[in-house]
Structure 1
Amino acid sequence: MHAPPAPRGPAPFRHDVVLHSSPEELAAVAVPFLRAGLEAGDAAVITTRDSSAAVLRDALGDDDRVHVLPRHEVYAARTPAAITAYRRLVERETGGGPGRLRVVGETDFGPTPREWLEWQRYEAVLNEAMRSSPTWGLCAYDVGRLPEELIDCGLRTHTHLVTAEGRRPNPGFTEPADYLRALPVPEEPLEATEALLRVDDARDFAGLRHAVGAQLAQLDGPRDAMEDLHLAIDEMAANAVRHGGPPVRLRLWASADRVVCTISDGGVGMDDPFAGYGPAHGEDLSHGGMGLWLARQLCDHVDVVDGRDGLTVRLTTRLH
């Protein structure tokens, strides 16, 4: 059980949301936001869909102080990498000086509800991960394009709403930890089928590693993805032994399109919804604490279930 975080002073990170239905509506809010930043000496970045970026760029008169970045450079394939990319962007644009970075961003939630969930988590985690960062983010949510579930995410993960009339506190904002704990853990139909590998009380971890590797080697998936999954399973099994309690259990399933593995232990659990979105000990990797962080970067989906009988981590990797 992790201790609650120590109280902190006022956070320099600002996380605002603008709801819009066209690039022009977005520009009515985002252009004054960026101009005010430039006048204050802030750095400015736009990372939205191309259609919105073009309208914003045109409205700003091609000011070379405003940098337009492709979304994939900021919203990386997996959310821990996206948080790292965001931090590096801040360092690069501010040079570590006293200035602030203003970002007009548009999260790429992906095409499916399963992918949406990872980015819903990201929007909440960002409030904690960037808490001490000199950044002011204005996140654009297109109400004509995004499903209601994602609009609700925007309204619950941003502290302030911004409209053409001004900026005001967001009454729908939910504390990030509470929002994360309330998100559902998706059901995985493969868990109701016969497992390829079932271990009820792992004690020989070298043998477990070989058994997992043998099963993964038989699957029709990219070699790199299978190696990444194998490493993530190793890390989670080691975590279960190191931080949990016996018995350590493992299940492995596969279908035509994905591999799923659960690693469970009988310990006291882990009440930390932010775990795994950065190294547990910050930049000093010599202290360890990288297991779940690595797993979130190595696998397409990672779900952590803190149950009555211990902790379960579910890893999912797409085969195609």
Structure 2
Amino acid sequence: MVDWAGLPSDRYLHDALIHDGPDELAATAVPFLLEGLAAGEAAVVVTRDETATVLRDALGSDPRVHVLDRDDVYRARTPTAITAFRRLAEQRAAEGVSRVRVVGEVDFGETERDWLEWQRYESVINVALGEWPLWGLCVFDAQRLPDPLLETARRTHSCLTGPGGRRPNPEFVAPADYLRSLPVPAEPLEETPPRLWARDVGDFVGLRHAVAAELSTVVASSDTVEDYLLAVDEMTSNAVRHGGPPVSLRLWVGADRVVCTIDDRGPGFDDPFAGYGPAHGEDLSRGGMGLWLARQLCDHVDISGDDGGARVRLTVRLG
């Protein structure tokens, strides 16, 4: 039996359960939720349907356990998922609940490119949720998930748990180190001539019209186009304000995605946590929101660079 008692309730705890099937899942996750309820804490399940069914059956449909739609939380972009959990903690705190226990199961997506965003997320939340009264028990099905995602579980959770107990994880990697170790994937479109290339950005209005003209040719919803145009605007403005000249922009339109890179020749960029929350909390009037907005408006945001400058690559899927 895992001893869940006596652990601090005023900061985020991030545990991983790597299980081999429903019995092992229920043997650990059910006591985790029930002991939280007995202590006056909230219990929430955000998993795929099969996992939620196992837990519901084992709990006897206890009405105190709230099951949320996983697509509403995890298939949103990663900063939105972080915001969702913060709001969940705020709502329960307003009701007098000291902590929220969450059994969560990330939907990593189908491709390695999709995996990367959620691999980043699993590490980022150690910091982004660090001061929030949440306890996450992230479940990973060893029979279903590929080895790279099981490796992510081991490297991004400070404790591992199972029917045999809860223990510190010797494979845990400090979040900043883990995030910097992840690759910036190659983008084949970058090997082709861009649809648009502004080599020295100076005329923002003209550039916006030029980007909008190219985006008007893609088959996508107006919301997708407008969101992407806003992300490009924000990141180009950031590069001009915080980077060094010249700032350049290249845009590619592929069959299934649009890609834009913004380069500057400033001092580079080395904050792996930037953009996973607003820079100044809820005060949107203070600026510093560009990267946070871009991460919410784009499917992929990749940042690279060195002493010679920084590059931001924005990708949105079409269709």
- TM-score past 0.5 threshold: yes
Aligned-partner SS, 2:62: coil
Aligned-partner SS, 2:66: strand
**Match status 1:40 vs 2:16:** no
Equivalences for residues 40-79 of structure 1 within 5 A: 40-79=39-78
Q: TM-score, normalized by length of structure 1?
A: 0.94
Match of 2:17 in 1: 18
**Match status 1:264 vs 2:260:** no
CA contact (8 A) 1:23 1:51 kept: no
Equivalences for residues 157-236 of structure 1 within 5 A: 157-236=156-235
Equivalences for residues 48-127 of structure 1 within 5 A: 48-95=47-94, 97=96, 99-127=98-126
CA contact (8 A) 1:213 1:230 kept: yes
Give the C-alpha shift of residue 255 in structure 1: 1.1
Per-residue CA deviations over 1:144-167 (Å, capped at 9, x if unaligned) read 111100001110110100010110
Per-residue CA deviations over 1:132-180 (Å, capped at 9, x if unaligned) read 1111110000011111000011101101000101100001100111100
Match of 1:155 in 2: 154
Identity %: 62
Q: TM-score, normalized by length of structure 2?
A: 0.95
Question: CA separation of 1:33/1:115 partners in 2, compared to 1, >3 Å: closer, same or farther?
Answer: same
Query: Which letter does structure 2 place at the counterpart of 1:305?
Result: S
CA distance in 2, matches of 1:305, 1:243: 15
Match of 1:4 in 2: none
Query: Which letter does structure 2 place at the counterpart of 1:80?
Result: P
Give the C-alpha shift of residue 10 in structure 1: 10
Match of 1:3 in 2: none
CA distance in 2, matches of 1:219, 1:116: 26
Give the C-alpha shift of residue 38 in structure 1: 1.1
Structure 1 unpaired stretches of 5+: 1-8
Structure 2 unpaired stretches of 5+: 1-7
CA distance in 2, matches of 1:224, 1:150: 32
CA distance in 2, matches of 1:49, 1:256: 31
Match of 2:145 in 1: 146
CA contact (8 A) 2:40 2:97 kept: no
Aligned-partner SS, 1:246: coil
Question: CA separation of 1:132/1:120 partners in 2, compared to 1, >3 Å: closer, same or farther?
Answer: same
CA contact (8 A) 1:43 1:94 kept: no
Give the C-alpha shift of residue 307 in structure 1: 2.6
Runs of 4+ in 1 over 6 A off after TM superposition: none
CA contact (8 A) 2:42 2:97 kept: no
Per-residue CA deviations over 1:257-299 (Å, capped at 9, x if unaligned) read 1110001111101210000111111122121111001111111
**Match status 1:304 vs 2:303:** yes
Match of 2:127 in 1: 128
Per-residue CA deviations over 1:221-254 (Å, capped at 9, x if unaligned) read 2222111111111001100111111000000011
